[in-house]
Structure 1
Amino acid sequence: MSKSKGSDEYELEGFVDWRGRPARKDRHGGIHATFFVYVMQIFEILAFLAININLVTYFNGVMHMELSDAATMLTNFVGTTLLLSLVGGFVSDAYLNRFQTNFFSVCIELIGYAVLLIQAHYGSLKPPPCNLLDKSSVCEKVSGAKAVMLFVGLYLVAIGSGGVRGSLPPLGADQFDEKDPKERRKISTYFNMLFLSIAVGSSIGVTVVVWVMNNKGWDAGLGFCLAAVFMATLGIVAGKSTYRIRIPGGSPLTRIIQVFVAAFRNRKLSLPENPNDLYEVHDKEANIIHTEKLAHTNQFEFLDKAAILRGDSSKLENNMEPSGWRLCTVTQVEEAKILIRMVPIFASTILLSTGLAQLQTFSVSQGLTMDRSMGKHFKIPAPSLAIIPLLFLVILTPIYDRIFVPVARRFTGHEAGITHLQRVGVGLVLAVIAMCIAAVVEVKRKHVAKENGMLDSIPILMPPIPMSVFMLGFQFFLFGVADLFTLVGTMEFFYSEAPERMRSMSTAFSYASVSVGFFLSSVLVNAVNSATRNITESHGWLRGNNLNRNHLDLFYWLLAVLLLINFFNYLFWSTWYKHKKVAGIQEDKVSVGA
């Protein structure tokens, strides 16, 4: 932050307002600016999760896909959406600013919902209704132009929603100056409240909107989603005059690639004994303004060769800019090292997302077979079961932020109560326990179905098995709390540890890990079916539409074992990880990014 006289005293380096003028600390940013981010997050996630949690029903019941195909298509859709968050983050880091990326992304999402709404409204754009009671009837699966329209609508939503996820979280975090101790402490609170916004929006989506879809029709439900995304657009635009908007700094990937190229070119050179002899710009980096200087670290020393001065030193003496493909600064090298160090942490959170994927696919199918009555006159829609963990999260998130963090801070001295990596570790342990409970509950559900001679009953069309759907609440609750620890922990970790010029893309790693986890879920389901095709009558643990004849319980036990192995893998890498150090304020940065 500049400290010159007059109005410049409050100008924030590297930030502008929505008109491109220098942002001022006394006028822009702070808690009041994040309010609009929360509003956008609530309405956008409301729409996305409503269709997300209910799409298996839509694909299976309206588009007549097989249950396994419907589950695979859902996980592919969600996985693509979250993977595209990396694209949204890259664009907002390199070219458009984070406000512009959010605005254009949500407009694309609006168009996607409009396409889906049109298809859901007109019967000629869907397969004809199918009578499931008549075994002689043939259900026409969605195909041709109808399938194309479905895919276009879904993946426009995916592109838009991915762009929002890649740029919205860092836009809110940018409203606080991490160089100011008072504002820096609020960054952790911001991420907790962002998660609370996700929980609030999701709660409305999986209850109100899902109820509308199931009782008033999919066209009415998608109309609700379209209206919600429109409100999200208004929300982000309404706050434009309050934002601190970081200036895009060009492609961060180019800077990373330059380090590897320069290090390879200098591979035969010897490193100087003193790291201070490596190249660094101490006044202003060429072509990169307002970039924090990173201190040298000893990991991945082969990359340090990118900063060895050789023939380029003559250019420096003549004030000529050296080629970035031959000579890189220490800061640039350290940025590449940070990215490498993040990869194992990123990879260690993927399998948890594979477990979470089951809550939106097979757990919903389980709920369809169970007693969903709540009183005499109300039946809970199976997709709305996710309200169980969400309601707990709405309560627990403020308690975590306002009670747990201050108390833990007194014992640990860490501004966030516990370190980000410790928070992720707690989430991974809870995921193991949740998957074990899910397996036990499924064993019990199948036992009840067998006792009552209902192994071949058809969900919805026949009475449910006499077992309350709330038995699934235990696994939903624990996975929800695991998500509170893991998603928020990784999001804040990636934001605080990332170089300033790639924070959007880095923060999107938390969503990208969920994406890969959903894709892995599809791969794992197919692999399990292939491996067990000669073991069961259904030619695979998870094949066919009859969940009672499948072996979902064994699949859950398999996931529990994999999650446990993954936790020990995470322990190794989190211990190995070295935190980012900013030159001149190393200790301070370690305490924030730990």
Structure 2
Amino acid sequence: MEANGSQQEEPRRLSSGDHESLKDPKKRKGGWITFPFLAVAILCLGLASGGAMSNMVVYLITEYHVPSVDAAQISTIISGSISVAPVAGAIVADAFFGCYPIVAIAMATSVLSLVMFTLTASLPGLRPAACQPGAGPCEQASTGQMAALYAAVFLLCLGAAGARFNQATMGANQFEAAADRDVFFNWYFILLYASSVLGATVIVYVQDTVSWTLGFGISCAASVVGLAALLLGARYYRHPAAQGSPFTGLARVVFAAARKRKVSVVAPGELKFYHGLRREDDDGKNGGDDVLPPSDSFSFLNRAAVITDGDVDGASGSALRPWRVCTVQQVEDFKTVLRILPIWSAAIVLSVAIGVQINFTVLQALVMDRAVGPFTVPAGSMIVGTLISVVIFLGLLDRVLLPLWRRVTGHTPTPLQLVGAGQALTVLSMAASALVERERTATVRAHGQEGDPAWVSPLSAMWLVLPFAVAGAGEALHFPAQVTLYYQEFPPSLKNTATGMMAMIVALGFYLSTALVNIVQRATTWLPDNMNASRLENLYWLLTLLVALNFGYFLTCAKLYRYQNIGK
């Protein structure tokens, strides 16, 4: 999940530029008039995708008769794909087409995806026959039936690829003032969280208590409304031209350094480095930063900026072979990424643990008492505990905890300090999951029900909210703090990669969590298909140990890291 601190702003007044835009229709583009259209599009897309994904584990188990652990694994892989796909979508939008066409195509793809999901739920031929009590093993889904389901999932991933990051960028592009962009980002995250909560509660409840067809149908209708809202606002949007992806510049540094691996950089004073096109006012004697050689760190990359014969046009200073020579600034940008990679890698284990916790909590909830008064809470809605915890803790952090910290210590916590606190809470969250599972299995053994996979423990499933609440508090600390760290430490050309780096962490965590579960299944007997005979507690304790060791690794990385743009 992602979050930003909230900011308050006075009502916006018309400036002279606004009056001019009202006189000239050609200039009447962008601004807050675009917000209602974008807000509906963001909210509806989040509601649609959340309604499709929040209950995926239960859908696979109940309708496709997939074994429970396998269903959790499949759901984890899908979540990882949906997390990493937007990185590719953002690169395509930045480099080639701009945001609006990519977002429009992606939202249309999401509509097709939800149509497919609705068909799988409504047409008997697209899923196996229902299980008959006492009639033997349930019928397994055919290859064609699973192909139809995976086609819907694939389209959902394509929709996320084009829309998730690009909606935020497109919205920010409608504003010139930084304050307006900050307010938009705050609303973007509010809408993102609101749609996630609605998808994981209202739509999941409809799926569990009414019908899967109606639940997916509501998601489909929401995606249609979101696409319509986006298209209705087309006349008001600004469409900045594609500027090219910053990832291309990073790749060029690697290729250029590899091609010039035989060039010696031992004596940089004797080499001529490329600084880009000459400025008209540059007489070569200004002694500014643009004539400084590259830094000494990671010196093997400096050869990418060394000018050799045929690399640069002598008259204009333009690069004749862009994939053989890079500017010094591009080399330094790449070094910035390398310096922060250890900090970035320390978040991957957190994502692995959280990915396992999310999906196995759904399996735990299925065999626990989910009654709250007259209602039965859907197992897929348990993740709402994390979402609500993030929102509440962010509010407390912004209004109470951080001001109190500043009053007591006289300074603001650094991003790395906040990340560390979040990691410590994640350790506690995994331990809390282990303790709750210990109590659940104790009730199973006390009633002698280890052999009955359908037996429901009298222990309330609301105990599962406690680990999620602690995990949410940790996420509220470490997730936005990491985005802040990357955004402030990276050079201007790489500011937009901060969110992309977080998406890669989430995706890698989900993928690696499936690998971890596979290893545990092969090496132990902890995870049979029968949750009442499982030893899931041991897996949670293993995650607690891994997250604790990772916390030590993070502390080492944080101690060695030197801030570039943030005061220590």
Quote the offset at 1:559 in angstroms: 0.4
Alpha carbons of structure 1 residues 396 and 253: separation in structure 2 relative to 1, 3 Å: closer
Alpha carbons of structure 1 residues 130 and 352: separation in structure 2 relative to 1, 3 Å: same
Q: Deviations over 1:216-272 (max 9, x none)?
A: 111100011112222333444455566565532234343223222332316433366
User: Aligned residue for 1:373?
Assistant: 371
User: Aligned residue for 1:390?
Assistant: 387
Could you tell me whether the CA contact under 8 Å between 2:84 and 2:507 is conserved in 1? yes
Could you tell me whether the CA contact under 8 Å between 1:99 and 1:245 is conserved in 2? yes
1:465 to 457, 461, 465: 457
Two-structure CA RMSD over aligned residues (Å)? 3.5
Query: Structure 2 stretches of 5 or more lacking a match?
Result: 1-15, 281-288
Deviates more, 1:556-565 or 1:293-302: 293-302
User: Aligned residue for 2:533?
Assistant: 549
1:130 paired to 2:131: yes
With the length of structure 2 as denominator, give the TM-score of the two structures: 0.84
Structure 1 CA distance, aligned partners of 2:290 and 2:41? 34
Alpha carbons of structure 1 residues 319 and 469: separation in structure 2 relative to 1, 3 Å: closer
User: Aligned residue for 1:110?
Assistant: 111
Q: Deviations over 1:334-372 (max 9, x none)?
A: 222233234333322222122222343211111121111
Could you tell me whether the CA contact under 8 Å between 2:277 and 2:316 is conserved in 1? no
1:254 paired to 2:248: yes
Partner-residue secondary structure (3-state), 1:278:
coil
Specify the code of the residue in structure 2 equivalent to 1:509: M
With the length of structure 1 as denominator, give the TM-score of the two structures: 0.81
Deviates more, 1:465-474 or 1:275-284: 275-284
1:205 paired to 2:190: no
User: Aligned residue for 2:332?
Assistant: 334
Deviates more, 1:255-264 or 1:516-525: 255-264
Partner-residue secondary structure (3-state), 1:93:
helix
Could you tell me whether the CA contact under 8 Å between 2:271 and 2:306 is conserved in 1? no
Structure 1 CA distance, aligned partners of 2:532 and 2:229? 45
Structure 2 CA distance, aligned partners of 1:311 and 1:214? 69
Quote the offset at 1:496 in angstroms: 4.4
User: Aligned residue for 2:8?
Assistant: none
Specify the code of the residue in structure 2 equivalent to 1:566: N
Quote the offset at 1:104 in angstroms: 1.7
Q: Deviations over 1:492-535 (max 9, x none)?
A: 44444455555555522212211111111111111011111xxx
Aligned length: 538
Structure 1 CA distance, aligned partners of 2:42 and 2:202? 17
1:353 to 351, 354, 357: 351
Partner-residue secondary structure (3-state), 2:431:
helix
Alpha carbons of structure 1 residues 118 and 437: separation in structure 2 relative to 1, 3 Å: same
Could you tell me whether the CA contact under 8 Å between 1:108 and 1:156 is conserved in 2? yes
User: Aligned residue for 1:567?
Assistant: 551
Quote the offset at 1:297 in angstroms: 4.5
Partner-residue secondary structure (3-state), 2:129:
coil
Where do residues 346-495 of structure 1 align in structure 2 (5 Å cutoff)? 346-375=344-373, 377-402=374-399, 404=401, 418-459=413-454, 464-495=456-487
Query: Structure 1 stretches of 5 or more lacking a match?
Result: 1-8, 12-16, 286-291, 533-539, 581-589
User: Aligned residue for 2:213?
Assistant: 219
Could you tell me whether the CA contact under 8 Å between 2:277 and 2:317 is conserved in 1? no
Could you tell me whether the CA contact under 8 Å between 1:312 and 1:327 is conserved in 2? no
Q: Deviations over 1:258-315 (max 9, x none)?
A: 2223323164333665699632137669xxxxxx989954431221222223435873
Quote the offset at 1:572 in angstroms: 2.8
2:302 to 297, 301, 304: 304
Quote the offset at 1:102 in angstroms: 2.0
User: Aligned residue for 1:99?
Assistant: 100
Structure 2 CA distance, aligned partners of 1:32 and 1:218? 37
Q: Deviations over 1:159-216 (max 9, x none)?
A: 2113323323444455666xx7x639x74x7655544333221211111101110111
Quote the offset at 1:543 in angstroms: 1.9
Partner-residue secondary structure (3-state), 1:467:
strand
Specify the code of the residue in structure 2 equivalent to 1:183: A
Alpha carbons of structure 1 residues 576 and 397: separation in structure 2 relative to 1, 3 Å: same
Quote the offset at 1:387 in angstroms: 2.5
Structure 2 CA distance, aligned partners of 1:360 and 1:197? 22
Structure 2 CA distance, aligned partners of 1:115 and 1:473? 32
User: Aligned residue for 2:5?
Assistant: none
Could you tell me whether the CA contact under 8 Å between 2:319 and 2:325 is conserved in 1? no
Could you tell me whether the CA contact under 8 Å between 2:311 and 2:325 is conserved in 1? no
Specify the code of the residue in structure 1 equivalent to 2:370: R
Structure 1 CA distance, aligned partners of 2:490 and 2:224? 32
Specify the code of the residue in structure 1 equivalent to 2:420: G
Structure 1 CA distance, aligned partners of 2:551 and 2:477? 14
Structure 2 CA distance, aligned partners of 1:64 and 1:403? 48
Quote the offset at 1:142 in angstroms: 1.1
User: Aligned residue for 1:536?
Assistant: none
Specify the code of the residue in structure 2 equivalent to 1:146: Q
Partner-residue secondary structure (3-state), 2:313:
helix
Structure 2 CA distance, aligned partners of 1:294 and 1:491? 32
Structure 1 CA distance, aligned partners of 2:256 and 2:400? 49
Alpha carbons of structure 1 residues 326 and 569: separation in structure 2 relative to 1, 3 Å: same
1:64 paired to 2:65: yes
Q: Deviations over 1:394-413 (max 9, x none)?
A: 43334434555566677889
User: Aligned residue for 1:228?
Assistant: 222
Partner-residue secondary structure (3-state), 2:448:
coil
User: Aligned residue for 2:283?
Assistant: none
Alpha carbons of structure 1 residues 408 and 88: separation in structure 2 relative to 1, 3 Å: farther
Could you tell me whether the CA contact under 8 Å between 1:23 and 1:244 is conserved in 2? no
**Overall identity of the aligned pairs, in %:** 28
Could you tell me whether the CA contact under 8 Å between 2:526 and 2:539 is conserved in 1? yes
Quote the offset at 1:50 in angstroms: 2.7
Could you tell me whether the CA contact under 8 Å between 1:192 and 1:488 is conserved in 2? no
Quote the offset at 1:141 in angstroms: 1.2
Q: Deviations over 1:87-115 (max 9, x none)?
A: 11211221121233222212211111111
Deviates more, 1:112-121 or 1:398-407: 398-407
Specify the code of the residue in structure 2 equivalent to 1:196: I
Could you tell me whether the CA contact under 8 Å between 1:365 and 1:547 is conserved in 2? yes
Structure 1 CA distance, aligned partners of 2:59 and 2:468? 22
User: Aligned residue for 1:315?
Assistant: 313
Structure 2 CA distance, aligned partners of 1:99 and 1:84? 17
Structure 2 CA distance, aligned partners of 1:346 and 1:244? 34
Alpha carbons of structure 1 residues 238 and 396: separation in structure 2 relative to 1, 3 Å: farther
Alpha carbons of structure 1 residues 503 and 241: separation in structure 2 relative to 1, 3 Å: farther
1:88 paired to 2:89: yes
Structure 2 CA distance, aligned partners of 1:223 and 1:558? 40
Structure 1 CA distance, aligned partners of 2:350 and 2:78? 18
1:520 to 501, 512, 522: 512
Could you tell me whether the CA contact under 8 Å between 1:435 and 1:560 is conserved in 2? yes
1:183 to 159, 179, 182: 179
User: Aligned residue for 1:165?
Assistant: 164
